Amino acid sequence: MGAPPPSSQLAPLPADLPFQLISKTIGQGAYASVRKATPPGRTNPVIAIKFINKDHAFRQGRLSPKQISMEITLHAHLGKHQNIIQHLGHGEDTLWTWIAMELAEGGDLFDKVEADEGVSEDIAHFYFTQLISAVGYMHSMGIAHRDLKPENVLLSGDGDLKLADFGLAALFKKDGKARLCNSICGSPPYIAPEVVNGRKSKRHDLLDTGYMANICDIWSCGVVLFVLLVGNTPWDEPTMNSWEFKEYVDTEGRTSDELWLKIPPAVNSLLRGILRVDPENRFTLDEIRTHPWVTRDNRYMDVRERKKARVQMATEMLSSLRIDLSQPPPSQSQRTFSQPSQDPDAMDIDSMNSTPHRSRADPFNTNKITSTQPETPLADTPFDWERPPRLATHDGLSASQPITNNSNPQSSIPLTAPYPVQSLSQLSQSTQDMLSQDPSMSQFASTPGVPLSLTQAASRFNDILPQYSLARFISPVTISLIVPLLLDTLHRLGVPVPSLTANKSLAEQEAEWERLGEASIRVKMADGRRQGLNGHIVVERAWVDGQQMSEVRFVKASGDPLEWRRFFRDVMRNVGEVVLKGV
């Protein structure tokens, strides 16, 4: 634990890139990082560059040069589709392979979905329709994605779905002839049962009898729709080790599971058709497209009022992101995290025994499924994460000391508890006006809603819902108070807690945080579905309207965005007394 991660990324990036990098790290995977770029000497278009570290990918990521080459080839072959991240170019040197892609200006879709709540039926319908459009186009090109899950569903600046990450994509049809795939890959909650349950007599990662990858994609689309509607997966994995899946199979899809009871009746027949265990009987894309629920009217799909509809949709989604800080925090007995698995052939696993029961994964279950992308040492590499854009005004939220004659301690909130300022309404009107422009403030408001000041000036989806994660908060207290409180909370939640620097006392460490104006806590665990969940909790000094505060960001490096949101919510319910709340 210590200061925010430095910019070192193990090896210098290529020097002869045909573009100019304009950001720090905006995303990270097991062996890759993503940054923004523009053409040389220009400010637009802004694109995304995925840098793949060859050493980690080949030596420790269990990937081959052929696999990376296949990802590039298949992604480029897809060309341009409105719901797929476009491939723009690629290159390499001795250390890195880079892929230039369309930038998803809207960020992660599922970062904007409340865990255990989901979105409205109209919004779920909107995004499911676009997902089916993307998957249908891929299949028409003979390509299956094979890794459909929330991490790979991004958004444009207008709120349109953008399917990403083709590292596991496969060619299932060539020259009109279908071929079976036999490698085991994907994420357990979203993977099709025929992939998990096939016979493996020769190698643990290959099936003796192959599967149709396009039909497996259809199963994954059904699970994604379920998650959109309720904010959780229907099971940890589609095997009889999961009692939710077993009951689903035993009742032929008419389970009494509480989450299924939340599904709107009109969607049930669609989900049961998509999630048929026998792939030969599973709904086809044409059957999905013609299902009454899919062909229904949707107020957000009126092309004549497209911009207005997108702003309304973003407003509804932001209103649904709610963390009730009056709720009692979960105890360690309710939510337990553990260290990720050290088995290189196992999934990145962890236990988060919590409600809802999808998080009751058994970390000692020996029937583990091969991971989508195994964790490698690159996940431990400190990255210099891009900060979210500050409020536009020069005297707004700033990471540095404002130029003012009043920089004495009286401009800071006192450091003693109980904390005198807990609500935005207790601050000056100018500070309230400024912070009301921050979308993340609304999730802690006492009553649901989005400030009119946000919606009145909005013309695009991301004017309401920004690209950056809303897993963040502002606090009126100092870094040296927040960090120990966060560490204690992580310990009580059962999250593996990093130790302080061995050669420094607590007082020395706190003095260093205050001197630097920043601190970072490394979070490396796994979620309730036995998948890796990694990132940083970054605490930075901020000046708001001339007053010293702290900004705390939960920066996910890898893992399911809904599980990260759930983790953020649990921490918030433990540290609510230092969170500045909306009006």
Decide if 51 contacts 35 (C-beta within 8 A): yes
Q: How many CB atoms sit inside 10 A of residue 188's CB?
A: 26
Q: Is 375 helix (H, G, I), strand (E, B) or coil?
A: coil
Task: With CA atoms as reference, report the closest residue to 145 among 356, 422, 446, 372.
Answer: 372
Chain-centroid distance of CA 483 in Å reads 23
Q: One of 147, 160, 217, 257 is an active-site residue; which one?
A: 147
Decide if 51 contacts 376 (C-beta within 8 A): no
d(CA 416, CA 254): 55
Question: Which one-letter DSSP state was computed for residue 357?
Answer: G
d(CA 213, CA 580): 48
Decide if 506 contacts 8 (C-beta within 8 A): no
CB-based contacts of 416, cutoff 8 Å, min separation 6? none
Concatenating the DSSP letter of every residue in 285-320 gives: HHHHHTSTTTTS--GGG-GGGHHHHHHHHHHHHHHH
Tokens of 305: 């009022």
CB-based contacts of 310, cutoff 8 Å, min separation 6? 158, 159, 300, 460, 461
Decide if 149 contacts 560 (C-beta within 8 A): yes
Residue ranges for the binding site for ATP? 50
Residue ranges for the binding site? 50
Is residue 116 part of the annotated active site? The answer reads: no
Tokens of 190: 């979203």
Half-sphere exposure at residue 381, Cβ-oriented, CA atoms within 13 angstroms? 22
Task: With CA atoms as reference, report the closest residue to 532 among 509, 501, 564.
Answer: 564
Q: Is 34 helix (H, G, I), strand (E, B) or coil?
A: strand
Q: Using CA of residue 180, residue 181, residue 184, residue 187, what is the dihedral sign? A: negative
Concatenating the DSSP letter of every residue in 543-577 gives: EETTEEEEEEEEEEEES-HHHHHHHHHHHHHHSGG
CA 478, 481, 482: angle at the middle one, nearest 5?
85
Half-sphere exposure at residue 464, Cβ-oriented, CA atoms within 13 angstroms? 29
β pairing state of 547-558 and 472-475: antiparallel
Catalytic residue numbers, as ranges? 147
